Amino acid sequence: MGKKATNHEVTLKTQETYTLLTTGYSRGNIVRMLSEKWGCSERQVDNYIAKARTLLEEDARMARPAWLAEALGRLRTYESAAHAKGQYSVAIQSIQTQAKLIGLDA
C-alpha cells in the first residue's frame, strides 16, 4: 500500500481533476492521466472526481452578482493586457463586452 497523500497533495489532485473535468476530459482519460502523473489508483481517482464535482456544483450555485463581478474583472484584465500589447481592437472589444454585461450597450 502506498503512502497516504497529504492535505496539500489531495488539494492539488482535486484541483487538477477539476480542471480536467471543466475542459471536457472523460473519466477514463482522467484515470489514465492521474495514474501516470501521480500513481493514483482508479478508486483514488474516483474520489478526486467526486470532490471536483462537488466544487463544480458549488461554482454553479454562484449568485448572478458574484458571477458578473468576476466576469467584469476578467474582462478588465484582458482589456489591460491587450492595451499593453498594442492590440487596441481587442481592448475595445473587451470594453464593449463589459458594457453589454452591465446593460450600457443600448
CA gyration radius, the chain: 19
Instruction: Answer yes or no: do 14 and 56 share one domain.
Output: yes
How many domains does the structure of the chain reveal? 2
- Mean pLDDT for 56-83 is 91
- Mean pLDDT for 19-30 is 96
Instruction: Answer yes or no: do 71 and 33 share one domain.
Output: no
- Mean pLDDT for 19-23 is 95
H helix runs in 2-104, sequence order: 7-22, 27-38, 42-60, 64-84, 88-102
The predicted model scores a pTM of: 0.63
Helix or strand run (H / E) with residue 36 = helix 27-38
pLDDT of residue 41: 95
Q: For residue 2, what pLDDT band results from cuts at 50, 70 and 90?
A: low
pLDDT of residue 44: 95
Q: List the one residue out of 99, 103, 98 whose CA is nearest residue 77.
A: 98
Question: If you search the block for the grid coordinates 474516483, which residue do you land on?
Answer: 46
pLDDT of residue 62: 78
Task: Indicate whether 92 belongs to any domain.
Answer: yes
Domain that holds residue 75: 64-102
